[in-house]
């Protein structure tokens, strides 16, 4: 039996570390930072939710039952998705083996495209 992406990226510890580093970059980003910093006041709690989301997406254990609806009220544009995906790709390629980084980046693009269809009715930008 082959390992899930979750297992190949280091399980809970690997995913948590990737997300901590990624969102540290997001919070400092000139375009993304203001949106995140204005709305998220308890970063440890938020990171736990995000980790549960990504655990589910990558085949790991998860109790995540939410959707993407909370994003619909955010003042996001396709530009924001481009920045987020660019940072995600950079951090994944920096931290993970090439195959796992590529798989995680592709997954993020699928999720972003779905969210953008919900928000704007289109597929949004392609990065990479």
Instruction: Report the CATH number that the domain containing residue 82 is assigned in CATH.
Output: 1.10.490.10
What pLDDT, on the 0 to 100 scale, is given for residue 66?
76
What's the rounded Cα separation, in Å, for the pair 6 and 59? 6
Q: In the numeric block, which tokens belong to residue 126?
A: 């392609």
Domain carrying residue 38: 5-58+75-120
Question: Which residues lie below 8 Å from residue 72, measured CB to CB, with a gap of 6+?
Answer: 118, 119
- Tens of pLDDT, residues 13-70: 999 999 999 999 999 999 999 989 998 999 999 999 999 999 999 999 999 887 776 7
Residue 110 in any domain: the answer is yes
Distance CA 59, CA 80 (A): 27
pTM of this structure: 0.86
Burial of 88 (0-12, 13-18, 19+ CB in 10 A): buried
d(CA 31, CA 79): 9
Give the residue, 8 or 120, on which the prediction is more confident. Answer: 8
Q: How many domains would you assign to the chain?
A: 1
Among 67, 77, 82, residue whose Cα is nearest residue 120? 77
Question: Is 24 within the bounds of a domain?
Answer: yes
Q: What share of the chain is helix, strand, coil (3-state, %, to 5)?
A: 70, 0, 30
Q: What is the mean pLDDT of the chain?
A: 89
pLDDT band at residue 1 using 50, 70 and 90 as cut-offs: low
């Amino acid at each position: 039996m082959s390992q899930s992406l979750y297992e190949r990226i280091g399980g809970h510890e690997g995913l948590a570390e990737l997300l901590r580093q990624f969102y540290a970059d997001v919070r400092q980003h000139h375009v993304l930072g203001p949106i995140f910093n204005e709305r998220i006041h308890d970063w440890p709690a938020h990171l736990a939710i995000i980790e549960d989301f990504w655990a589910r997406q990558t085949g790991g254990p998860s109790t995540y039952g939410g959707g993407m609806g909370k994003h619909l009220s955010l003042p996001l544009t396709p530009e924001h998705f481009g920045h987020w995906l660019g940072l995600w790709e950079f951090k994944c390629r920096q931290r993970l083996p090439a195959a796992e980084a590529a798989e995680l980046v592709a997954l993020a693009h699928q999720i972003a495209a779905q969210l953008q269809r919900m928000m704007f009715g289109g597929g949004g930008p392609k990065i990479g």
